[in-house]
């Protein structure tokens, strides 16, 4: 769907969203979309991405726009394209047309915004130019994340209540993003045997996303160094004995994200050590997904992953001791240092621009315990929430070669046995899981996880 083709159901959804907001707050709101950020000179900009809070209520990725919401009404502020812009950018829709497309009650030029600022709340936009403009216009500092105050904080909490669970329009978009990511991963697996470097596999995957006129929801990770958690290098050569970790997710034109990881053997065949560890990560993945249902604490799902991984590593002779005790002593986090996942929606880490306000139930704070400190979501699950489940195993040199770690876990890790698994640098398996009324639905289920089928896909 593009700006030329919005439909009545989207307009209805947008109306419904702002009516729900109006039941939670009794003050007006202005949300800015943001502006393009210059790349190397002003006319050469990074691809524009509208603020997610704006997108949620305005539906379209409009540049340099704002919306005012009050008592269920929508007012649009945007300038008509300058006459000269048709030469460089083609004919663009005018203000009145856009207003009709999003079901706005009124539309104004941007300059009129100044007359509508009395008592409004807002949320800071990510680009510095708009953020500064917000603060100047409202004559107060609009503070980011956990520093939000007063009506801005109340607004953030109201929006979080809405965006924590997804309506049907959002789910249709999220399903589309997930389906395209599934195809991208299959293309990546098939492209691997003939690829010489990581960049070729990345290109095969992103081609599928770009061909749908979508973008990636975050920088793709396509690497033989999966132990670098957010690796953004693609120059390494890929060799038959390597594992390739690909964390690649599509984002729809309307901004809805997916977040998918698979790890596969470059040769099309896991070595026995790779397969052993892969099956431990898969056991954690499957056990965690089976626990997803309303009322379950997401932190408990994280701790379940830790225990399954610890038990698997005990069974392989890498860790020594009782799994639950090992988790209490953080031994699992030497190999699984991050959280089991996060919220997913318009942002890949949904609403992380608000710090932990969205991810953490009010009254809860991040633990300072290694491993738990990277848990991005700590709430009971509710129907309509979309979360990722993404356990992993990594041999991060900075952790496992650290002398303090080595001495603390001298008798907990069988270091000699671990050295036999040197061909396993990083494995992650990540799916997008919707909490339903009775359990769960894995939106990315069409992408196989079992080792044999993954091998077949690489060889296809
Ligand atoms: N793709 C980033 C993440 O999995 O959190
Ligand atoms: Mn993720
Ligand atoms: Mn991911």
Q: Is 109 exposed, middle or buried (0-12, 13-18, 19+ CB in 10 A)?
A: exposed
Separation of CA 164 and ligand 3 centre (Å): 19
The CB of 390 under 6 Å from ligand 1? The reply is yes
- Domain boundaries along the sequence of the chain: 8-163, 168-459
DSSP-based three-state secondary structure for 246: strand
Residue nearest to atom 4 of ligand 1 (CA): 259
Nearest ligand to the CA of 217 is: 1
Position in ligand 1 atom list of the atom nearest CA 249: 1
Distance in angstroms (rounded) separating the CA atoms of residues 310 and 172: 37
**434-453 b/e (C-beta count within 10 Å ≥ 16 → b):** bbeeebbebbbeebbbebee
The CB of 353 under 6 Å from ligand 1? The reply is no
The CB of 242 under 6 Å from ligand 1? The reply is no
Instruction: Check: pTM over 0.75? Answer yes or no.
Output: yes
Q: Is 118 exposed, middle or buried (0-12, 13-18, 19+ CB in 10 A)?
A: exposed
CB atoms < 10 A from the CB of 398, how many?
A: 8
The CB of 347 under 6 Å from ligand 1? The reply is no
Per-residue pLDDT of the chain (460 residues; tens, 9 = 90+): 455 556 889 999 999 999 999 999 999 999 999 999 999 999 999 999 999 999 999 999 999 999 999 999 999 999 999 888 888 889 889 999 999 999 999 999 999 999 999 999 999 999 999 999 999 999 988 877 668 899 999 999 999 999 999 999 999 999 999 999 999 999 999 999 999 999 999 999 999 999 999 999 999 999 999 999 998 899 999 999 999 999 999 999 999 999 999 999 999 999 999 999 999 999 999 999 999 999 999 999 999 999 999 999 999 999 999 999 999 999 999 999 999 999 999 999 999 999 999 999 999 999 998 879 999 999 999 999 999 999 999 999 999 999 999 999 999 999 999 999 999 999 999 999 999 999 999 999 999 999 999 999 999 8
Position in ligand 1 atom list of the atom nearest CA 259: 1
Fold that domain 168-459 belongs to in CATH: Creatine Amidinohydrolase (3.90.230)
- Assess contact for 312 and 284: CB atoms under 8 A: yes
Estimate the crossing angle of helix 272-291 against helix 298-315, to 10 degrees: 150
Query: Two tokens at 322?
Result: 């009782």
What is the assigned CATH class of domain 8-163?
Answer: alpha beta
Distance in angstroms (rounded) separating the CA atoms of residues 356 and 291: 23
Q: Which of 247, 351, 386 to mutate to test the pocket of ligand 1 (most atoms within 8 A of CB)?
A: 247
Position in ligand 1 atom list of the atom nearest CA 230: 2
Nearest ligand to the CA of 232 is: 1
């Amino acid at each position: 769907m593009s700006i030329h083709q919005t439909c009545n159901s989207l307009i209805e959804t947008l109306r419904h969203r702002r009516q729900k907001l109006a039941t939670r707050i009794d003050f007006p709101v202005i949300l800015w979309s943001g502006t393009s950020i210059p790349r190397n000179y002003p006319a050469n900009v990074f691809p524009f991405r509208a603020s997610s809070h704006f997108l949620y209520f305005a539906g379209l990725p409009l540049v340099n726009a704002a919306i005012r919401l009050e008592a269920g009404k929508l007012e649009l502020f945007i300038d008509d394209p300058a006459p000269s812009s048709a030469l460089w950018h083609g004919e663009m829709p005018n203000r009145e047309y856009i207003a009709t497309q999003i079901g706005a009650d009124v539309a104004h030029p941007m300059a009129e915004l100044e007359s509508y600022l009395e008592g409004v709340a807002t949320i800071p936009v990510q680009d510095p130019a708009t953020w500064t403009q917000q603060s100047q216009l409202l004559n107060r500092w609009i503070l980011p994340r956990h520093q939000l105050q007063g009506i801005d904080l109340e607004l953030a909490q109201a929006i979080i209540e809405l965006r924590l669970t997804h309506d049907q329009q959002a789910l249709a978009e999220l399903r589309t993003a997930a389906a395209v990511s599934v195809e991208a991963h299959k293309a990546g697996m098939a492209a691997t045997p003939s690829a010489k470097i990581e960049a070729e596999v990345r290109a095969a995957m992103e081609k599928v996303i770009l061909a749908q006129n979508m973008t990636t929801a975050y920088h793709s990770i396509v690497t033989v160094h999966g132990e670098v958690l957010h690796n953004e290098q693609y120059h390494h050569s890929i060799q038959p004995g390597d594992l390739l970790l690909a964390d690649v997710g599509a984002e729809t034109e309307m901004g809805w994200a997916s977040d998918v990881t698979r790890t596969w053997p470059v040769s099309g065949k896991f070595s026995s050590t790779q397969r052993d560890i892969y099956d431990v990560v898969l056991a954690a993945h499957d056990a965690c997904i089976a626990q997803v249902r309303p009322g379950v604490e997401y932190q408990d799902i994280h701790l379940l992953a830790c225990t399954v991984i610890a038990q698997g590593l005990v069974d392989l002779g890498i860790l020594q001791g009782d799994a639950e005790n090992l988790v209490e002593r953080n031994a699992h986090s030497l190999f699984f240092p991050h959280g089991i996942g996060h919220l997913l929606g318009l942002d890949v880490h949904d609403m992380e621009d608000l710090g932990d306000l969205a991810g953490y139930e009010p009254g809860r704070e991040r633990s300072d315990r290694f491993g738990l400190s990277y848990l991005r979501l700590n709430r009971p699950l509710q129907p309509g929430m979309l979360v990722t489940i993404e356990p992993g195993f990594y041999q991060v040199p900075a952790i496992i070669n650290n002398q303090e770690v080595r001495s603390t876990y001298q008798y907990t890790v069988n270091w000699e046995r671990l050295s036999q698994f040197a061909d396993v640098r990083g494995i992650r398996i990540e799916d997008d899981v919707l909490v339903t009324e009775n359990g769960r639905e894995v939106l990315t289920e069409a992408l196989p996880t079992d080792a044999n089928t993954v091998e077949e896909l690489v060889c296809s």
